[in-house]
Structure 1
Amino acid sequence: MALVPDDVNAASDEKKNGDVATTTTQKLPKGMVLGPDGKPCRACNSKAAFSSWAAMAKGKVDSPQTTTAATSTPTTSALSTDDCPPDVETLGRSSWTLLHTITASYPPRPSPALQRDTTTFLSLFAQLYPCWTCAEDFQKYIASDNGRPRVSSREEFGRWMCEAHNAVNEKLGKERFDCGRWEERWRTGWKDGRCD
């Protein structure tokens, strides 16, 4: 993983021009995740970290909230960021929502062909995921003995997805979800009726 250690304040950005590589050094915020190209990875960082880096890269010393947009005078805090590329948290929440919803709509007894397609989908998803460090982690997880996708039924697939999500939650220091309640959370709605 290409996290910048707390005590490192600079990284190199290489731009290849034929055989010549030029390097520029710039300061990076604490914990900034770099992409394979050595540049900050938008999909691997929070909006706050990326905005902080962008402000630093532009040579601005004030906070990102007071930076003005190029085409208008309102401050960034007055502009909506809903239409900006997703950060790592937004991407993660959206991806888990999609994956859990797929498990919830999965047939109770899928055909062998659908089981193969589902396993292929998960492998491709892990390869194409925009946050490269997250993608590598998920690839390792699904290749491990405990992480191999279990797709022979809706119940099995739903529990497997919940366990995969919990593995990520543990890594991030987040609370584990009770996988005995995966269907209530993602398929049927809570028994207290709040989803009705």
Structure 2
Amino acid sequence: MDNNNTTTTGRRDDDHTPTAAAGADGPKKFPKGVVLGADGKPCRSCTSFASWAAITKSQTKGASAGTTTGTAVPSTFSSQPSPPADCPPDVEALGRSTWTLLHSITATYPTAPTASQQDNARGFLRSFASLYPCWVCAEDFQDWMKTNTPRVSSRDEFGRWMCEAHNAVNVKLGKDVFECSRWEERWRTGWKDGRCDG
């Protein structure tokens, strides 16, 4: 199976980077890294700003050449490193903000939560995983939770579980993993060297 194609349903392939969707004039080509939504159109919250900018560049080239399929542009094309602050977030900005929120929730979670608070945490994670704007990310998180049930019986347990979830994503993206024994320093108390204290 070709890992760079998808149908108009936007269902993902193995590497989550569909590059074509069927159109009236045949498949429409998109730059590598562009993820399609269920409507067959590029998903802004699933795609990096660089790839999104490449779409615009390829559409401009296609229009000037009188074509509708566009010209694929390397996903490294970008006139600026990130979108302006008043633009919808790309997948990277959305991810950074999301991890900040999720880790902050675990950092303020009770040390000895009630049964109701534990139910709320599990319910939040289920809802979050079904509503997350990047459908590829949402499906990955849902799949990960099937084999890594949320551990919410204490702050430390929840914080370590969230760190493990974050590390699983980092591994997929080829990023460094974080030492989960230090999650509380990073997200709740601040580093022991005092640099977070002003």
Identity among equivalent positions (%) equals: 58
- Residue by residue over 1:26-77, the C-alpha shift from the partner in whole angstroms, topping out at 9 and shown as x without a partner, is 3211232111221111011101101111232243689763xxxxxxxxxxx6
Asked if 2 retains the 8 angstrom alpha-carbon contact of 1:44 and 1:133, the reply is: yes
Q: Distance in 2 between matches of 1:4 and 1:140?
A: 18
Asked if 1 retains the 8 angstrom alpha-carbon contact of 2:33 and 2:48, the reply is: no
Amino acid at match of 1:113: S
1:63-74 map, 5 Å: 65=79
Asked if residue 11 in structure 1 is aligned to residue 21 in structure 2, the reply is yes
Amino acid at match of 2:194: G
Answer 1 or 2: which has greater strand percent: 1
Residue of structure 2 equivalent to 1:168: 169
Asked if 2 retains the 8 angstrom alpha-carbon contact of 1:26 and 1:57, the reply is: no
Amino acid at match of 1:152: S
Q: Distance in 1 between matches of 2:78 and 2:196?
A: 38
Q: Distance in 2 between matches of 1:100 and 1:183?
A: 9
Superposition TM-score, scaled by structure 1 size: 0.80
After TM superposition, the runs of 4+ consecutive aligned structure 1 residues lying more than 6 A away are 61-64
Q: Which runs of 5+ in 2 are unaligned?
A: 1-11, 65-70
Superposition TM-score, scaled by structure 2 size: 0.79
CA distance 1:151–1:31, shift in 2 (3 Å): same
Asked if 2 retains the 8 angstrom alpha-carbon contact of 1:27 and 1:56, the reply is: no
Residue of structure 2 equivalent to 1:111: 114
Q: Which runs of 5+ in 1 are unaligned?
A: 14-21, 66-76
TM-superposed CA distance for 1:11, in Å, is 2.4
- Residue by residue over 1:94-131, the C-alpha shift from the partner in whole angstroms, topping out at 9 and shown as x without a partner, is 00000000000001001100100100000000000000
Residue of structure 2 equivalent to 1:154: 155
Q: Distance in 2 between matches of 1:129 and 1:170?
A: 20
3-state DSSP of counterpart to 2:28: strand
Q: CA RMSD in A?
A: 2.1
Q: Which has the larger radius of gyration?
A: 1
CA distance 1:12–1:178, shift in 2 (3 Å): same
3-state DSSP of counterpart to 2:35: coil
Q: Distance in 1 between matches of 2:111 and 2:152?
A: 10
3-state DSSP of counterpart to 2:167: helix
